[in-house]
Structure 1
Amino acid sequence: MGGRMAGWKRFLGVFLLGSLLLTAGCPERGENQSVARQVKIAVSLADMQRDGNQIIKQVMDGRKKQEQVDITWLDAKNKAAEQQKQLQQLAGQGIRAVILQPVDPAAAPGMVRQLARNNIKVVALESLPPNTPVDAYVASDHQRAGELQARFVEEALKQAAGGGPGPGATAGGPSGGGAQGQGGQSAGQDQGQGGQSPGQGRQVSPVVPPGLQLPARRPLNVMILAGDPRDSAARIIASAAREALKGNPRVQVVAEVDQPGNDPSTVSPAVQRALAKLNNQIDVILAADSHLIVPAVEVLKAAGLNNRVLTVGVGASKEVSRALVAGEHDGEVDNRPDLLGQYALDAAVGLAKTGHWQYDTRVTSGDYSIPARIVPVRLISQANSFLLQERWGKELERKSGGGQDQGGGSPGGDQGQGDQGGQQGGDQGGDQVQGDQQGGQANQAGQTGGSQQKPRTTLRITTRDGKTVEVQIQGEVKKIESVEGARPGARQMPFQAGGGGGGGGGGGT
């Protein structure tokens, strides 16, 4: 009996020990199973430092746990050879799908074939490799982007003719302080703050609408920065803008310049040559990429022309968004990198797990019909720039409201810089320079009494022959009407002032 009891005890002990070991091992097995269920994908970006790509990375990293996906990030640093080398190293790593944003679309077909031989699915992002059977294509609506650029110009023309608020109008109307006579974006912004106390600093204010920046002559002269001719996205954007403007007799494309490799360093000399050739009579610059519009704006600022040349880009990068909010740039087509990241990840995960994905259209690439998903784009101007502030947050607000850092927080610091810009634009003649000097005196008066008495508005009127006249008025201007020649039935140009502060300095042309 005792022997049998001892046997039972030994059996029970072994059973309990085994149960404990099995129980302790379960979490580890579950964790291993979870890791085993993860699929591996790679994302090869042309340049990780680009603002849009940073948004794409943020979106994808935020979903990888939910999607049970392991993402390998590859940064080609804008070098096609480096991108090819990185993709070659993916062989044997268990990668099931690659999201490919090619540095050089012309070199991409060979990269895609190499990945296909390793049984890796390929999602082309933004640029479609020519005549190549990729498994998916995710891109913003390039055709619509070019059309929206042309629409911006056409709406500005309607506004100039008194036909509507135009693309850059804001709810409060343009700022006072004589901005209408200058027709400049940043000038109106700086002047509108002249009556504030220095402690408030410079705020983002309504700017002169694009229509009031256009010259009286027609047709307008348009320059297109077309980007890399090998890049299908850039080609489509530039072509769509050109075709949309072609049927408008009030507009003519006078220069279209390529930028191989989308290299911004090629932009400045191109814009300078065009300005010299046309005696500074460039009225609009359109760019297929935000990074191309930045050096163009810098050239215009240096020449004192930024206040009378409309600029419109595509991409809404952080730097360009700052310029737009600050009034140095007029319009951007936002290609929605947040949605590009969502849709590209959907495609890669679907192809990696099931071999299929939810596309909504097809595009042609040579001999192949490619499943695709096209991201809607949107036109951004000063009026709806808050849409970009949602993306870039307080950093964008600090940049646009940073007047306190320059000139000791005094509005006069910004206005004085505007006067220098006005003097640089010497093609307006001696009367214009004299007007700028008068504007500087008006600034001082506005700063001295603006916070203690009623706001004072300085109206600067520039005639077509280049003469400038300034009139200073106590109080805020509610409405201004210009009647050409005082002829019966002549067209009137209404101007709603949004409460301009004291002083009329600020650069103009």
Structure 2
Amino acid sequence: MLNRKHYQIIFWTSSIIILIFTGCFGSPQGKPEIKPKIKVGLVLAETTTERNQYLLAKIKESAKSQNIKIIEGDSKNNSEQQKKQIEKMITEKVEVVIMQPINSDAAKDFISMLEEQNIKIIVIDLLPENVSVDAFIAPDYVRAGELQAQYILSQGIELNPLILTGEPNSVSGIILPGNINQLKNSPFVKGMVVKEVPDQSDIKAYEISKSEYSKNSPNTIISHYEQYTSGIMKFLKETKLEKKVTFVTMDINKESLKDIKEGNLIAVDTMPNLLAQVILETTDSLLKTDSWKYDMQINNGTALVPAKYTPVRIINTDNLYLLNERFSELEELINSNQKTPEKQETNSEKENKQTKLKIKTNDGKEYEVTIPGEIEKIEMMPE
């Protein structure tokens, strides 16, 4: 017969066995749950410019720490290709698409495609009219155009600028009014030519610059795209005009750093490092809360669009060092070709200096006189 002590032993033994089996075969305790990465689509207009390459690299790098998988889409500056990239994002079932439209007309249809799938939309650089998106983020392109114009006006000379633009429904259509508003009423501007460069081509930019200079001899050139810079600079250097024609462009790449340093080029920097940061913060907020910290709401025809404009700045020889963070080779470039400091003369060297004078009189006689030290002034005092 079992007594009380036996029952206690059986009870505690059974409890221990249950705990052991529960620990071994039950749900694991304290093991963190691995969450699948959130898919975010990034559809850029192109990836050939250094600005967009920087944006892509920065966004991909930062996404790694935010449990985000970036699905890339390069539109190759072609609207049909951009449509294919949007379709790819839909197939990939992304939760957010960051889109950089090539032109505003085609982008309207792409935005509608994403809306139908309830995909959140962040548009950068160019906002089509009469569309509703979750966020619009762009450099202040109107201000960029104003800065370009103000820089050439600050020279205080008579101007006949050549402005090389893109299509009216592209970013160029925002920059140009900034140019015109500053230049149109200035007494310095005696003539102004605006030319559209097809396909954002550096070759076409070269050809147009060459053709227009033969007709109008512009003393300033304003460019709206990074892609134009190399073509225009090629023309200026071939004709030895790089020091005579003031050239102000948009955005900066490695190739243009040396020309800025040498005073051949001025550029408006759209600060892609800051733009990338704002895009990432906005993406993270929309994924977590469906809202974000915008600065204003734009009345976009049929919708109010939350928006933020990032600052832009002029970069020239004097403040080129501000780009050190983005261009690792810049510090070496800035420090290269520095003038060797002039050697300071010692007192003994000054004392040992001599000046030799050659004097010719009216009657044809010549005299040579050596005088210690340097001559400051000679006066003729006839008696």
1:156 deviates by 1.8
Q: Structure 2 residue aligned with 1:396, among 326, 330, 334? A: 330
After TM superposition, the structure 1 stretch with the greater mean CA deviation from structure 2, 16-25 or 333-342, is: 16-25
Instruction: Note if 1:16 corresponds to 2:20.
Output: yes
After TM superposition, the structure 1 stretch with the greater mean CA deviation from structure 2, 350-359 or 16-25, is: 16-25
After TM superposition, the structure 1 stretch with the greater mean CA deviation from structure 2, 147-156 or 17-26, is: 17-26
Alpha-carbon spacing, 1:26–1:400, altered in 2? closer, same or farther (3 Å): same
Aligned pairs, number: 341
Aligned to 1:491: none
Which residue identity is paired with 2:165? Answer: A
Alpha-carbon spacing, 1:76–1:324, altered in 2? closer, same or farther (3 Å): same
Structure 2 counterpart SS, 1:333: strand
- Bigger radius of gyration: 2
Instruction: Note if 1:137 corresponds to 2:136.
Output: yes
Instruction: Note if 1:259 corresponds to 2:193.
Output: no
- Structure 1 Cα separation of the partners of residues 190 and 139 of structure 2: 27
Aligned to 1:375: 310
1:261 deviates by 3.3
CA contact (8 A) 1:39 1:96 kept: yes
Alignment of 1:147-162 (within 5 A): 147-157=146-156
CA contact (8 A) 2:89 2:97 kept: no
Aligned to 1:63: 62
- Structure 2 Cα separation of the partners of residues 79 and 387 of structure 1: 33
Which TM-score applies when normalising by structure 1? 0.61
After TM superposition, the structure 1 stretch with the greater mean CA deviation from structure 2, 90-99 or 146-155, is: 90-99
Alignment of 1:30-429 (within 5 A): 30-32=32-34, 35-36=35-36, 38-91=37-90, 93-157=92-156, 219-231=158-170, 233-278=171-216, 281-329=217-265, 331-393=266-328, 395-398=329-332
1:224 deviates by 0.3
CA contact (8 A) 1:290 1:320 kept: no
Q: Deviations over 1:369-401 (max 9, x none)?
A: 3210000111111111111223212x2344566
Aligned to 1:434: none
- Structure 1 Cα separation of the partners of residues 312 and 248 of structure 2: 14
Alignment of 1:356-505 (within 5 A): 356-393=291-328, 395-398=329-332
CA contact (8 A) 1:321 1:388 kept: no
Alpha-carbon spacing, 1:49–1:399, altered in 2? closer, same or farther (3 Å): farther
- Higher normalized helix content (fraction of residues): 1
Which residue identity is paired with 1:286? Answer: I
Which TM-score applies when normalising by structure 2? 0.80
1:92 deviates by 5.1
Alpha-carbon spacing, 1:52–1:22, altered in 2? closer, same or farther (3 Å): farther
After TM superposition, the structure 1 stretch with the greater mean CA deviation from structure 2, 70-79 or 310-319, is: 70-79
Structure 1 counterpart SS, 2:165: strand
After TM superposition, the structure 1 stretch with the greater mean CA deviation from structure 2, 8-17 or 289-298, is: 8-17
Alpha-carbon spacing, 1:302–1:451, altered in 2? closer, same or farther (3 Å): farther
1:219 deviates by 2.7
Alpha-carbon spacing, 1:386–1:16, altered in 2? closer, same or farther (3 Å): same
CA contact (8 A) 1:147 1:241 kept: yes
Relative contact order (alpha carbons < 8 A, sep ≥ 6): 1 or 2 greater? 1
Aligned residues: CA RMSD: 2.9
CA contact (8 A) 2:263 2:317 kept: yes
Aligned to 1:172: none
Alpha-carbon spacing, 1:113–1:253, altered in 2? closer, same or farther (3 Å): farther
Structure 1 unmatched runs, 5+ = 158-217, 405-410, 412-446, 455-509
